[in-house]
Amino acid sequence: MKEVVKTNQAPGAIGPYSQGIHVGNTYYFSGQIPLVPETGKMPEGIEAQAHQALKNVKGLLESQGLSFKDVVKTTVFLDNMDDFVTVNGIYAEYFGEPYPARSAVEVAKLPKGALLEVEVIAVK
């Protein structure tokens, strides 16, 4: 049976999707762009946006009694692969060893003009 994840600790869905879906002991979270949950605004610059997107991921995780240690897979979408090194350094501030499996891809465009989006799968 699947259960919908809904929390105010991360931005609400901006389309016909759920913030996350919980099935058994696995949580599939929708990608997080760097919207500040309280204001709906986005900070400027890749560093501020990377931190905000990961804070949003943290909010989703914590709303379900999870932490970054429970994440088994991430996908990072970048609008410019030249930002990879910067984002990678910030990413390492949130995730520790053993690191989750990860994909990082450059995309043509992200919702609301975001510079990145981070999606995670966690297991409790």
The mean pLDDT of 22-41, rounded to a whole number, is: 97
Q: For residues 69 and 24, what is the distance between their CA atoms, to the nearest angstrom?
A: 18
For residue 60, the model assigns a pLDDT of 98
pLDDT in tens, 45-79: 999 999 999 999 999 999 999 999 999 999 999 99
Structure pTM?
0.96
For the record, the structure tokens of 108 come out as: 């043509």
Q: For residues 33 and 42, what is the distance between their CA atoms, to the nearest angstrom?
A: 9
For residue 90, the model assigns a pLDDT of 98
Query: What integer best gives the mean pLDDT of the chain?
Result: 97
Q: For residues 105 and 44, what is the distance between their CA atoms, to the nearest angstrom?
A: 21
Q: Which are the contacts of 37, defined by CB distance < 8 A and separation ≥ 6?
A: 8, 9, 10, 11, 12, 56, 59
